[in-house]
Amino acid sequence: MSQGFLALILAAGKGTRFKSDRIKVLHPLLGKSMLQLVVDSVLRLKPQKVYVVVGYQKDEIRKEVQSDKVALVHQKEQLGTAHAVMAASSVLKKDINSDVLIINADLPLVRPQTLKPLLTLHRNQRNSLTFLSAELENPTGFGRIIRSDGKIRVIEEKDASPSVKKIKEVNTGVYLFRVRDLLASLPKVSNQNKKREYYLTDVTGIMAQEGKKISSYKTPNTGEFVGVNSRYELAQAIEVLRERKIRDLTEKGVTVLDPKTTWIDLDVKIGLDTVIYPSVVIEGRSVIGRECRLYPFTHIRDSRLGSGVEILGSTMIENSVIENEARVGPFSRLRPDSIIRKKAKVGNFVEMKNTDLGRKSKAMHLSYLGDTEVKGEVNVGAGTITCNYDGKKKYKTYIDEGAFIGSGTELIAPVKIGKKAYIGAGSTITKDVSPEALAVSRSKQVEKKNWSRRNRKK
């Protein structure tokens, strides 16, 4: 037995109970597909190589698992778990002296620390086969484990006598085989059963008859072996991962005030003493710094926040960067490629897209800045709109340091506002403004006396 091992992940099923165009194992849980979660867990055990047996949507699966260590094996027809392993026999053969861990791809809750003891036991005992068993409150549907004379057997539910059915230790379907012994026994599996399928569990019996050394490791982490077969079970599995993730964050010094209403994807990182209010959603590969405060109804995706950042709630941030001590929200929307520099402020009903808001600059009310570069200490007044699109192309706006944009201003791009320039409220700016100049485009205010009396009924 070499120290290395292979892994074989069975992902060829369609998952019809999902009633989805997408195969079951590609459905995501907190930002990762079910399959990816199993691949990740297995990779953390450092196998030599991981094979994924696929049936449908091969291209989508390939996109999901992009690792040098992972290769796909195609199973043309789905004729049972043993048949899936047969499909991989030619690649397994290449490491005939190795071991192979076999696991279903619909077990997204299994953690590496749960699989690890199985490997250790298998190697220490020099077994032909070691499988993972668990003691379940409700073992219905699982194969039961019977131990006698130092031997171990699995009896399937359908073959179980009433007394066997009472046994609570079950076969979880996670196996560690010596490759040589597996490949020797595999051809002997028959499909003489109701569904005309080849079952991997039958290998257990065949090996036992042949006097191979079989053992099992009983895991205490029974909750991880719940197969996800429907969208309701998917939601339940997500719930387990969600709680795990939040617990992990709190243990690292993050305050999550209301774990039940907080949704944080698995890859999100959050710094010490950051406080997360109820009803916050953080997705993707977001990184949040230390001592931030995220207020309710905030939605962040694939963004980086520095330290001491405040997100004042009802705010949506996507693919953007927010530097230290900046403040955004409430009711702000940062679209991709926006940068909010140190101590800058974005206020309510403000949208930014591909915009760089300089240090200590402010855009506090009812504005749209698109394709705009704003230098430091600029004040963007309420109702400022960059007209970056003329129906054909997009243009850039540039606002230099210390400029003051009066409220209700349209900046028709391409346009440059000079350093410390001042734009009068209500202006439509079509030409560049010189540094320190006042620019204004405004009609005279005229008054018609007593107009209301004549014209308004109410």
Residues 392-451 binding a second copy (CB under 8 A) are: 392, 402, 404, 406-408, 410, 412, 420-422, 425-431, 433-451
The conformational region for residue 207 under phi > 0 = left, psi -120 to 50 = alpha, else beta, is: alpha
Which of 100, 98, 85, 127 has the alpha carbon at shortest distance from 42? Answer: 100
Distance of closest approach, residue 290 Cβ to a second copy, in angstroms: 10
Q: Which is nearer to a second copy, 158 or 449 (CB)?
A: 449
Distance of closest approach, residue 142 Cβ to a second copy, in angstroms: 23
Q: Which is nearer to a second copy, 67 or 236 (CB)?
A: 236
Instruction: By CB under 8 A, name the one of 127, 171, 354, 379 that touches a second copy.
Output: 379
- Residues in 14-33 that interact with a second copy by CB under 8 A: 18-22, 27
**Distance, CA of 450 to CA of 436 (rounded, Å):** 41
How many chain residues are in contact with a second copy, going by CB under 8 A?
105
- Residues in 268-307 that interact with a second copy by CB under 8 A: 272-273, 277-279, 281, 295-297, 299
- Residues in 240-259 that interact with a second copy by CB under 8 A: 242, 246-247, 250-259
**Distance, CA of 32 to CA of 268 (rounded, Å):** 12
Which of 389, 20, 81, 44 has the alpha carbon at shortest distance from 231? Answer: 20
Helices 231-251 and 34-43 cross at an angle (nearest 10°) of 50
Distance of closest approach, residue 394 Cβ to a second copy, in angstroms: 12
- Residues in 61-120 that interact with a second copy by CB under 8 A: none
Going by C-beta distance under 8 Å and a sequence separation of 6 or more, which residues neighbour residue 60?
22, 23, 26
Distance of closest approach, residue 242 Cβ to a second copy, in angstroms: 8
Extended beta strands in 95-168, E state: 99-104, 129-135, 144-148, 151-155
Q: Which is nearer to a second copy, 64 or 156 (CB)?
A: 64
Distance of closest approach, residue 440 Cβ to a second copy, in angstroms: 6
Q: Give the containing element (helix H, strand E) for 369.
A: strand 362-370
> What is the end-to-end Cα distance of the chain in Å, rounded?
94
The three-point CA angle 48-11-63 to 5° equals: 75
- Residues in 341-370 that interact with a second copy by CB under 8 A: 347-349, 351, 365-368
Distance of closest approach, residue 373 Cβ to a second copy, in angstroms: 18
The tokens describing 217, both together, are 């490791």
Contact assessment for residue 320 and residue 299, using Cβ atoms and an 8 Å cutoff: no
Active site residue 122: no
Q: Which is nearer to a second copy, 160 or 437 (CB)?
A: 437
Q: Which is nearer to a second copy, 310 or 410 (CB)?
A: 410
- CA-CA-CA-CA dihedral for 83, 84, 89, 94, to nearest 10: -170
Q: 27, 83, 299, 365: which is the annotated catalytic residue?
A: 365
Q: Which is nearer to a second copy, 45 or 440 (CB)?
A: 440
Per-residue mark of binding to a second copy, 174-213 (x: CB under 8 A): ----------------------------------------
- Residues in 308-337 that interact with a second copy by CB under 8 A: 312-314, 316, 330-331, 333
Distance of closest approach, residue 315 Cβ to a second copy, in angstroms: 8
Q: Which is nearer to a second copy, 178 or 353 (CB)?
A: 353
The tokens describing 198, both together, are 């080849």
The conformational region for residue 400 under phi > 0 = left, psi -120 to 50 = alpha, else beta, is: beta
Going by C-beta distance under 8 Å and a sequence separation of 6 or more, which residues neighbour residue 347?
329, 332, 362, 363, 364, 365
Catalytic (active-site) positions: 365
